[in-house]
Amino acid sequence: MNGLSTVLVVVGLFLVGGIISFAKQEMPKSLIVLLSIGAAMCLVAGVMRLEVWN
């Protein structure tokens, strides 16, 4: 696991925590969807950059 993939996964998990928090606070759904898209992109990018695929 290199540094960039670690950062991407950590940021993705941070955004997932934000999604949970915003959902509990009943924030607007569009904001939650935007965070969900960002979290998914970070997590997928972090997993795809792992060196186990070679």
Reported as a pLDDT band with limits 50, 70 and 90, residue 54 is low
Q: What integer pLDDT is reported at residue 50 of this predicted model? A: 86
Q: Are 9 and 43 in contact (CB under 8 A)?
A: yes
Look at residue 2 in the predicted model and tell me its pLDDT.
Answer: 84
In this model, does residue 53 exceed pLDDT 70? no
Spatial distance between the Cα atoms of 54 and 30, rounded to a whole number of angstroms: 38
What tens digit of pLDDT does each residue of 1-46 get? 688 999 999 999 999 999 999 999 999 999 999 999 999 999 999 9
Instruction: Select from 29, 31, 4 the least CA-distant residue to 15.
Output: 31
| The predicted structure's pLDDT at residue 36 | 96
